[in-house]
Amino acid sequence: MGGAGLPPRPENVVLDSGEKSRVLEQVRRRGGVCHNCGNDRFVVGDALYLGFHFRSADPDAYLIALTCTDPDCPSRHTGITLARRLFLSETRTAECGAVPRRNR
Ligand SMILES: [Zn+2]
């Protein structure tokens, strides 16, 4: 989410391969497709914490960047909003000082 050719933003969370796989699993579970071309395959980018930015967002909500893999898609950039527990690793959740919801 730094934009092509721009340095990454410090507030973004760079996901590891396991976290990206969990994001793609959530996209599949929701039947997520590209709104511009109908493709159901995406490359996962960085996550941005939304929880404290918007009153309507859940306190543990993140927006994760998705890029449609179809090179002919007219607008390839989109995203998915997910709760932290659905994609971040346990280690990272502990680093963030948060308690996973299922352990409460
Ligand atoms: Zn597309």
Q: What is the pLDDT along the chain (104 residues), one digit of tens a residue?
A: 455 677 878 889 999 999 999 999 999 999 999 999 999 999 999 999 987 766 777 888 999 999 999 999 999 999 999 999 999 998 876 565 444 444 44
Question: What residues have a C-beta under 5 A from ligand 1, the ion?
Answer: 34, 36-37, 39, 68, 70, 73
Answer yes or no: is 104 within a domain: no
3 domain residue, yes or no? no
Domain residues for the domain of 17 are 12-90
Residue 73 CA to ligand 1 centre (angstroms): 4
Tokens representing 73 are: 């898609």
**Distance (Å) from CA 33 to ligand 1 centroid:** 8
Q: Residue 99 domain-assigned? A: no
Q: What is the pLDDT of residue 103?
A: 42
Is 84 a domain residue?
yes
What total of structural domains would you count in the chain?
Answer: 1
Residue 75 lies in a domain: yes
> Does the predicted TM-score (pTM) go above 0.85?
no
Calculate the alpha carbon distances from 83 to 1, 2, 31, 98 in Å: 18, 21, 17, 12
